Chains A and B, each alone.
Chain A
Amino acid sequence: MGNILKPLYYAVSWVIVTFHSILGAVFGKNSHESIKWSLSIIGLVILIRIILIPLFVKQIKSQRALTALQPHMKAIQKKYKDDRQKQSEEMMKLYKEHKTNPLASCFPIIAQAPIFFALFTVLNGIAHNHPHGVLKGDLLISAQNAKFFGADLSSSFLSTGTNTQTKIVTILLIAFMSLTTFTTQRQLMVKGMPKMDSSNNMMLQQQKIMLYVFPVIFAVSGVNFPVGVLIYWSTTNLWTLGQQFYVIKRNPTPGSPAYEELQAKRKAKGEFSATDALGAIESEIPVEAPKPAQRQQPKKGKKKK
């Protein structure tokens, strides 16, 4: 396992070290080490999330394509009002028929998992004086002393000799992670998804359970993770929240409450707002007369080659 991930250790440590040296130009070469190391981890998150943006845009595009399918979707929802299973099955059939699929698949998560694990190993290496990739020598010593609001970047709640500051920061970060995840989920459920008559109750219930489940999951895993990993996790959560907020405001899923709000707003403004930040996407897929299924086809072919 270690050998397979070795290139990833190199990549992750290289990105962090590179950010660290770039930040040296801003904060001074040998000063503000703590801020520089913390920001380097945040930089790693931003880089990864930027790389993942095309996938996200692709997903938004296929969500847009749903506009055309709206009547079909409503019919399915009506027909299988009391059977959520059948409802999703028929929806999937419909998506397939029209060669679109608004769902993201677990790829973005699975793709991030090895990076997450590599960061975990690299940071643990700092704590145990074990160099990984390009993070060695003087850089290793400097990173060893780096702090995030007084907490050691490389030590975790449960590691031996952890100071109180680290414990407090860990708890705060776990709380922050729980809060961002919950808000993201809630925002999606309240505003971002088409209303479903029969399953509304079930979802609300699920959401209530999650309110308790998140903090437990984060607490159990979080106390084992170095503070640096928690910074990564918190930042990526915050990014997800922001990204979703942007999409729900600008490009909501057809049929969702946010979509209706936007439609109402556009009508009030006089049909079309020129300052649409996602104008590029808009011009590619016309809202009024969409033929998205056909339009996406040739593009896909090109991408594969």
Chain B
Amino acid sequence: MKYLFILPIKIYQKTLSPMFGDRCKYFPSCSHYAVDAFNEKGVLRGLLMTTWRLLRCNPWSQGGVDYVSTADKSTTRTVLIDQKLVGAN
């Protein structure tokens, strides 16, 4: 089941992604993150984590290093707090 989601991402990485060049603000990039998320957390959480990551990857975010394995609830919360702090400044 999860390969249903991973396969299109892999195809995207091979075809469309080179067209856009390096542009993700995070490491690993959103698509690699998505593959990891589906592999490690399954379809449902994978989907949620991928969506959340894509939302965080925008012109107003700072990006940085962000692995699936370390992105448990605690870190997600810190990121949220981080962003609020930046907003408050």
Contacts and interface: CB of A to CB of B under 8 A. Distances in A.
Interface of A: 55, 58-59, 88-89, 91-93, 95-96, 99-101, 103-110, 181, 185, 188, 206, 209-210, 213-214, 217, 297-298, 300-301, 304
A249 B65 CA distance: 31
A103 B24 contact: yes
Given A58-B59, A105-B58, A105-B59, A93 B24 contact: no
B15 A213 contact: yes
Shortest beta-carbon contacts, A-B, top 10 = A96-B64, A92-B27, A301-B89, A101-B63, A107-B58, A105-B57, A89-B27, A104-B23, A103-B25, A105-B25
B72 interface: no
Interface string B4-22: 0000000000011011111
Nearest to B66: A92
A181 B59 CA distance: 23
Given A106-B23, A185-B19, A210-B18, A55 B89 contact: no
A188 B21 contact: yes
The majority secondary structure among interface residues of chain A is: helix
B62 A105 contact: no
Given A93-B64, A105-B24, A107-B58, 17 more contacts: A55-B59, A59-B59, A92-B26, A96-B65, A101-B63, A101-B64, A103-B22, A105-B61, A106-B57, A107-B57, A107-B59, A108-B59, A185-B18, A210-B19, A217-B16, A298-B89, A300-B60
Nearest to A300: B86
Contacts of A300: 60, 86, 89
Interface residue tally on B, bucketed by range: 20 to 34
28 contacts: A55-B59, A58-B59, A59-B59, A91-B27, A92-B26, A92-B65, A93-B65, A96-B65, A101-B25, A101-B61, A101-B64, A103-B24, A103-B25, A103-B63, A105-B23, A105-B57, A105-B58, A106-B30, A107-B57, A107-B59, A181-B19, A185-B18, A185-B21, A210-B18, A213-B19, A297-B89, A300-B60, A301-B89
